[in-house]
Amino acid sequence: MSKTHQLFDLSGRTAAITGAASGMGRATAYLLSDAGANVVLGDINADGLDETARTVEDKGGKVSSIVTDVTKAADLDALVAKAVQDFGRLDIMGNIAGLKAKKNNFVVDTPEEDLDFVMNVNFKGVWYGSQAALRAMIPQKSGTIVSIASSVIDMPGAPKSSTYSVSKAAVAMLTKVLASEAAPHGIRVNAVSPGWVRSGFTRENVETEEEWEALQENVRGTNPLQLLGQPEHIAQTILFLVSDAAEYITGQNVRANGGAFMPW
């Protein structure tokens, strides 16, 4: 194996991935498994979770799974415990589960339950997942954590986007804090901020197929690469960040958005 291939080889490592039933989580599970990692999958969607696990198995990968509600710290503890039980250790934590608001409201009109709904998954899920991962990684003095923020944090503050935008900004800041706290233990922590990605998550923004096609064409036309983001693009970014090729990178929020947003 060449040195270049070795940099991206995850053989013998174990990755826990939330949101693995679909979209970016599923794509990440497939790609990390292809790179040699044992993958432990978590999602609240049991049927989708089983489908992802079967596909990994059919491709010859080593996989286990457990239904996981990321709003519950005990479920994230159980996900990490399963990784350690089934494969002996945890090397990679992918905090990928996320959702958008049920309804977009102005801040003044947003009820507490809507705020809690988004923050509990998008922010607390990352918080709990990182806590659980660190408890396993600190004693072994190694590991990497990658969480999903969003390019929305680089946009002007769009009206009626508060709950989602704030939750993702919180993930980006948490990433910096965790990176500083975890570095003395040999652990790296980074985030990925996707732009528009073709998935069920973004499909929910429109009602008809015509609107969906128009949205995709609009996205292609609003980034310099003229590309529509795919879940695989985000998975590839995650693979880089958890690989040895990124051993000098921590505390960063990598924008994977086709160049649509280029902050300093």
pLDDT tens across the length of the chain (264 residues): 788 889 999 999 999 999 999 999 999 999 999 999 999 999 999 999 999 999 999 999 999 999 999 999 999 999 999 999 999 999 999 999 999 888 888 999 999 999 999 999 999 999 999 999 999 999 999 999 999 999 888 877 778 889 999 999 999 999 999 999 999 999 999 999 998 887 666 556 666 777 767 766 776 667 788 877 889 999 999 999 999 999 999 999 999 988 878 887
Residue 40 lies in a domain: yes
| Options 30, 128, 164, 248, the catalytic residue | 164
Q: What is the pLDDT of residue 176?
A: 98
Closest of 33, 175, 20 to residue 96, by C-alpha: 20
Q: What length does the chain have?
A: 264
150 vs 179: CA distance, rounded Å: 18
Query: Whole-model pTM?
Result: 0.93
Residue 13 lies in a domain: yes
175 vs 157: CA distance, rounded Å: 21
List the CATH number of the domain containing 72: 3.40.50.720
Q: What is the pLDDT of residue 220?
A: 66
Q: What is the pLDDT of residue 256?
A: 92
Q: Total structural domains in the chain?
A: 1
Please, which residues have CB within 8 angstroms of residue 135's CB and are 6 or more apart in sequence? 77, 80
Residue 263 lies in a domain: no
Q: What is the pLDDT of residue 224?
A: 85
33 vs 51: CA distance, rounded Å: 15
Residue 128 known to be catalytic = no
Residue 128 lies in a domain: yes
Residue type, 51: E
Burial tier of 173 (Cβ tally within 10 Å: 0-12, 13-18, 19+): middle
**Containing domain of residue 12, as a range?**
3-195+229-256
194 forms beta bridges with 256
